[in-house]
Amino acid sequence: MTINIFKARIRSPKDALIHLAFGCTIGYLIGFLLIFDGDYDISEHISLVGHEKPTQKAENFNLRCVIIIHRATHKPEKIISALSDGYTKHCQETIYFTNNQKVFDKFQSECFLNITIIVQKVGEGPAKKTTWEEPSGRKNGQKNHTMYYVDSSLNHFYWSFYQYVMEFSSKVPSQWTFIGDDQTYLIVPNLRNVLHNFDSEKPVVLGKVRDTSTFFSWLFPLSSFKKISVRGGIVFSNSAIDKLSACKGFFFARASDYALYDCSDSHNVQIADPFDEDALRLFNDLPPKQIIAPDSKLFRTSSMKGGKCSDHAVSFGQLSEKDMRVLEYGMTLKVFGRGGLETSESNETTTT
């Protein structure tokens, strides 16, 4: 007995339609699960910060600002100029790190005071240091800046690079250290008010904390899906840096976002994600315009509703040089009925 396989495969239109509908249903379900955006706040780390009463300026408040210049940054000299005209004026110390040799050589030749070869290494080579001064007429700002060149093919999204920057920039202890990149903008007066609620003597890390678990996370039980966003900038107490500097091992994540959370959790470092009274996040890894009015749905990979920016926001991420200029200008405006930016000794707040 012989069977004609070609005739055996022939199905009625009804069977073909049923199979097609079943296949489309399974495909749609799998596709929906794959694009499902598992991005949640972690309630145990949320820290509500009150701003009802004006807070007094903290005594002996010391802030070190560490800024990482990415190798692929377009026109980095404009970014550095915007940062120098902006929030770095309120930092007691500003340190730049870059793995872009051309950027380092440019500032080394145009505005250096001295150059030192640092014997410590990250990745493939030593770090070089150059220091320059800003015009003496600048008000309310520190004059000395330091730039380090790190000979490495990695960037700050890799934990080994980020950990090196964190550890190397803090050889001289500072009360608080902010680490951001060339697309992050910090609002120092608002950060000062937030830090009133934390003890700088204890190991504390402040930033945007998220849980990125999805439906398929159970397939990887040994992987961590919780992170502290590097793009939004992160604030460390000095004791937190000491503990995180010792976090080294094969089983920790290579990505800075996830390694920061894992290391903080395993080394008993307090993780705080500050929110204001209106339940609005203070550390943001997106620019204000994208938070308030998200991009067109045509160009988005996940659904995102328009939101609000807190008046007491501490940081924004993924900003261009023009965005930084506009943000700095907006903070200096005094709207009728609102306080605007206050820089007096008695009170220092800002609205965005």
Top CATH class of 43-332 equals alpha beta
At residue 247, does pLDDT exceed 50? yes
Which residue type sits at 141?
A: G
pLDDT in tens, 172-186: 889 999 999 999 999
The SS3 of residue 88 is: helix
Higher pLDDT, 251 or 341: 251
Per-residue confidence at 313, pLDDT binned at 50, 70, 90?
Answer: very high
What is the pLDDT, as a whole number, of residue 113? 39
Q: What are the structure tokens assigned to 195, written together?
A: 């830090």
Mean pLDDT taken over the chain: 77
What is the pLDDT, as a whole number, of residue 82? 92
Q: Measure CA of the first residue to CA of the last residue in the chain; give whole Å.
A: 83
pLDDT in tens, 23-40: 888 877 766 555 555 566
Per-residue confidence at 213, pLDDT binned at 50, 70, 90?
Answer: confident
pTM value is: 0.76
CB 141 within 8 A of CB 83: no
The SS3 of residue 63 is: strand
At residue 141, does pLDDT exceed 60? no
The total number of residues shown for the chain amounts to 352
Distances (CA, A) of 152 to 94, 108, 241: 21, 19, 22
What is the pLDDT, as a whole number, of residue 51? 66
**CB proximity list for 156: less than 8 A, separation 6 or greater:** 68, 70, 97, 162, 165, 181, 230, 256
**CB proximity list for 16: less than 8 A, separation 6 or greater:** none
d(Cα 230, Cα 181) in Å, to the nearest integer?
8
What is the pLDDT, as a whole number, of residue 60? 73
What DSSP letter does each residue of 307-325 carry, written as one string?
----TT--EE-S--HHHHH
